[in-house]
Amino acid sequence: MRAGVFHGPGDIRVDEVADPRDPVGGEAVVRVVRSSVCGSDLWAYRDISKGEQGSRTGHEFTGIVEAVGDGVTTIKPGDLVVSPFMWSCGTCMACRAGLQTSCPSGQFVGGSYDAGQGERVLMPLADGSLWKVPDGTPEALYDQVHLLSDVLLTGYHAAKLAGVGSAGLDGHPVTTAVVIGDGAVGLSGVVGAKLLGATTIVAVGHHDDRLEIARTLGATHTSNLRGKQLTTQIRELTDGGAPAVLECVGVTGALMTAAAVVTGGGNVGSVGVPHGVEHAAWLGMLFGKNAALRSGVAPVRAYMDEVGPAVCAGELDVSAIASDRYELGELAGAYTAMDNRTAIKSILVVEP
Ligand SMILES: [Zn+2]
Ligand SMILES: [Zn+2]
């Protein structure tokens, strides 16, 4: 079969690789119909983190189950499934609590199994990991449904961690949120904040075209400013700051902004994977406000049940996030578009 292979920084190719073996206990083989390039795929591509020469690429896929091993009960051949970017057992304490990304048996898709950017994937722990897409979901929605594998629900996680919709200091649900970042996760954070009941949503980023999209997804205000001007504007727009701040970037400046605009006793929900985060002035600001920093890898498997049905029914339109389409053979171009930030999200359409 064909699959993406890392040949070095800036050099991802589609190579012929071995077909998956037959699934054994708990495993499934999935024929991929959609995959994608993630912001985190760019770390090795840009040589920020060390990529392993010859390793398979991608951790996001949606596809049709071809075969299952003994003991798999929740999916069967022919089912359309979305995979979370990490697999999980589904039965341990963390999984039962909806924190599948803390499953002791969990791991990022790939490794000794197939990665996501390819024609087929052998997947372990199929029952605890793969989410069955409701029957009748039209193919026209597959690009959006595929966003459930990571970004859409990572943004949703930021909104959850930030406490949108939960009781604030006054006992009423928090309805004011600031979303920092205009990438696919930040835009998904806007969607998540709206789903959880936010009525004032300030989206912050540096790309005016993406901030326009943020408005179509639910942002009530946007800002492309930086530094002090930015925090001043956010405070004006939110009547002094926000009890919920979604940090969807993961660098020092974003954490500084978050700490500066969160209100006393509020929550910063951080899903930007920390990169070179330094000097802890932002931590001091949170300390002074009794504000919480809640961060972590999104348990997207738990949220598929909450958000997936609306996407599959066409009731939640997130098509603007699935901005660019490529065939698997155009994988290099899909990476370039993400690297240049011309694509919000490069979707790979995979056909046999
Ligand atoms: Zn991803
Ligand atoms: Zn588990």
- pLDDT greater than 90 at residue 351: no
Instruction: Give bridge partners of residue 245 from the DSSP assignment.
Output: 178, 268
Nearest ligand, measured from the Cα of 94: 2
Residue 150 CA to ligand 1 center (angstroms) comes to 5
Residue 67 CA to ligand 2 center (angstroms) comes to 22
Nearest ligand, measured from the Cα of 103: 2
Nearest ligand, measured from the Cα of 39: 1
Q: What tokens does 32 get? A: 């991929």
Residue 38 CA to ligand 1 center (angstroms) comes to 4
Residue 225 CA to ligand 1 center (angstroms) comes to 27
Residue 256 CA to ligand 2 center (angstroms) comes to 34
Residue 56 CA to ligand 2 center (angstroms) comes to 25
Query: What whole-number distance in Å separates Cα of residue 116 and Cα of residue 263?
Result: 40
Nearest ligand, measured from the Cα of 101: 2
Nearest ligand, measured from the Cα of 107: 2
Give the helix/strand (H/E) hosting 262.
Answer: strand 262-270
- Cβ contact 66:72 at 8 Å: no
Nearest ligand, measured from the Cα of 128: 2
Nearest ligand, measured from the Cα of 93: 2
Residue 210 Cα distances to 190, 223, 316, 320, angstroms: 12, 11, 18, 9
pLDDT tens column, 218-250: 999 999 999 999 999 999 999 999 999 999 998
pLDDT-based confidence at residue 280 (cuts at 50, 70, 90): confident
Residue 103 CA to ligand 2 center (angstroms) comes to 4
Query: What whole-number distance in Å separates Cα of residue 181 and Cα of residue 179?
Result: 6
Residue 232 CA to ligand 1 center (angstroms) comes to 33
Query: What whole-number distance in Å separates Cα of residue 13 and Cα of residue 167?
Result: 49
- Give the range among 169-183, 273-287, 310-324 with minimum mean pLDDT: 273-287
Instruction: Give bridge partners of residue 107 from the DSSP assignment.
Output: 87
Query: What whole-number distance in Å separates Cα of residue 318 and Cα of residue 199?
Result: 18
- Cβ contact 219:201 at 8 Å: yes
**In this structure, how many other beta carbons lie within 10 angstroms of the beta carbon of residue 305?**
10
pLDDT-based confidence at residue 272 (cuts at 50, 70, 90): confident
Mean residue pLDDT of the chain comes to 97
Task: Name the pairing type of β-strands 131-132 and 80-83.
Answer: antiparallel
Query: What whole-number distance in Å separates Cα of residue 175 and Cα of residue 166?
Result: 9
Residue 64 CA to ligand 1 center (angstroms) comes to 20
Residue 61 CA to ligand 1 center (angstroms) comes to 10
Nearest ligand, measured from the Cα of 86: 1
Residue 220 CA to ligand 2 center (angstroms) comes to 38
Residue 277 CA to ligand 2 center (angstroms) comes to 30
Chain centroid to Cα 278, Å, comes to: 24
Q: Work out the average pLDDT over 120-140.
A: 98
Query: What whole-number distance in Å separates Cα of residue 215 and Cα of residue 290?
Result: 31
Query: What whole-number distance in Å separates Cα of residue 242 and Cα of residue 262?
Result: 5
pLDDT tens column, 303-332: 999 999 999 999 999 999 999 999 999 999
